[in-house]
A and B are shown apart, each in its own frame.
Chain A
Amino acid sequence: GAGVSQSPSNKVTEKGKDVELRCDPISGHTALYWYRQSLGQGLEFLIYFQGNSAPDKSGLPSDRFSAERTGGSVSTLTIQRTQQEDSAVYLCASSAGTGSWDEQFFGPGTRLTVL
């Protein structure tokens, strides 16, 4: 079946502009995660959604970052007033949502470059 998909694959924007990044999880997966990977660094947790529960936003670095998940499927990560330090690869992952040790399947990522 289809894996996790993300769009766009690359995004170049100017400082101060808003951007939206999209994630399509694996069909049937109730848990969805966003991570950020800066050049040569590990993955930094941003936010996760599980079913109809309130999202865990504890990893969002500032109030310029927000995310929503419509209909329990597609998710959009929005970064307002982008800054150069926001440049990174944004990875989405999904899991079956049955337990804390479900395998997380990652998407290919969106490479964001803020000029």
Chain B
Amino acid sequence: GENVEQHPSTLSVQEGDSAVIKCTYSDSASNYFPWYKQELGKRPQLIIDIRSNVGEKKDQRIAVTLNKTAKHFSLHITETQPEDSAVYFCAASGTDSWGKLQFGAGTQVVVTP
């Protein structure tokens, strides 16, 4: 089955700097890669996703890149703000697993003013 590894487990950045979180996956059939943000005590919420037919996707300060050959994908947050502080999870799924997401272990991001 799919295995997703996520690094780093914690990330401390100064407000205004960029943050990068990296994930690798094992199943070459995976074709959907969402990123979820979970604030303390709240439910995970989708912030951006990418499909395997695209190499990069951007939404304001957030971007995701995908390298299918190397089987890794990354989340980039630019101009970080205190409200970006949260746990971020990457995930992967494929057509054979139909929406069954395999999540990474999460990255605790702390943005200091």
Interface residues in chain A, defined as those with a beta carbon under 8 Å from any beta carbon in chain B: 31, 33, 35, 40-45, 48, 50, 56, 58-59, 91, 95, 99-109
Contacts and interface: CB of A to CB of B under 8 A. Distances in A.
Interface centre among A42, A59, A104, A105 (most CB of B within 10 A): A42
A100 B31 contact: yes
Interface in B62-106: 89, 91, 93-95, 97-106
Nearest to B6: A42
Interface of B: 1, 6, 31-32, 34, 42-46, 49, 51, 89, 91, 93-95, 97-106
Given A41-B106, A42-B104, A43-B89, A102 B99 contact: yes
A23 to B, nearest CB: 12
A101 B100 CA distance: 10
Contacts, number: 68
Contacts of B102: 45
- The 6 residue pairs across chains A and B that have the minimum distance between CB atoms: A101-B32, A106-B43, A42-B103, A43-B103, A42-B105, A100-B98
A57 to B, nearest CB: 11
A42 B101 contact: no
Contacts of A95: 99
Nearest to B1: A58
A101 B54 CA distance: 13
Contacts of B93: 100-101
6 contacts: A40-B106, A45-B100, A50-B98, A56-B98, A104-B34, A104-B46
Contacts of B1: 58
B6 to A, nearest CB: 8
A41 B105 contact: yes
Contacts of A101: 31-32, 34, 49, 51, 93, 99
